[in-house]
Amino acid sequence: MFPEDLTSRATSLINLLRSKQLMLATAESCTGGLIAGLMTSVSGSSDVLDCGFVTYSNAAKTRLIGVPSELIAEHGAVSTEVARAMAQGALAHSSADIAVAVTGVAGPGGGTATKPVGLVHCAVARRERPTRTRVLLLGDIGRERVRLETVRAAVEMVYEIAGP
């Protein structure tokens, strides 16, 4: 289902998380659960994956992981501020040590001049540490490629915050 290199990297991430006894939660919008799907495609993921939230609508972001509706109204769902709040909310609503969140415009529609197709905001939160964010400007490379490249970036961000 996933490219072999991505599955291999997820296996490495699972091994790293297991070695550090860290649990992961995901909060996904534009990827619709693909990050959690990738992780669970690897045997042994139950050792490190606590839960996944698919918060595609703004209401779900607020209801399930506590993203303030005022924050969404002020910055839009596709923003660094909302990605940060999603990651922090996933931590608060789980038993995980690390949470990764993504929100973006996968396309082909939905883009604007200020938030074009291929714009994705990612955040990773770890208890007792500052939340990290990253902006991806992938361009209009097709909906599935935007989603897969977002999964790839999310895995790398978790790897970085969990690593040595």
Convert the pLDDT of each residue in 115-156 to its tens digit.
Answer: 999 999 999 999 999 999 999 999 999 999 999 999 999 999
Per-residue tokens: 16: 């790293």
What is the per-residue pLDDT across 90-111, written as a single tens digit (0 to 9) for each? 999 999 999 999 999 999 999 9
Closest C-alpha to 22, from 147, 117, 141, 125: 125
CA 29 – CA 39 distance, rounded (Å): 16
User: Domain 4-162 belongs to what topology?
Assistant: Maf protein (3.90.950)
- Which sequence spans correspond to the domains of the chain? 4-162
Q: What is the pLDDT of residue 163?
A: 86
CA 131 – CA 28 distance, rounded (Å): 16
β-sheet bridge partners, residue 47: none
Per-residue tokens: 46: 């139950």
Q: What is the pTM of this model?
A: 0.98
Is it the case that residue 164 has pLDDT exceeding 80? no
Q: What is the pLDDT of residue 4?
A: 98
Under a CB-based contact definition with an 8 Å cutoff, are residues 24 and 100 in contact?
A: yes
Find all residues with CB under 8 Å of 127, minimum gap 6, and list them. Answer: 91, 97, 98
CA 98 – CA 75 distance, rounded (Å): 24
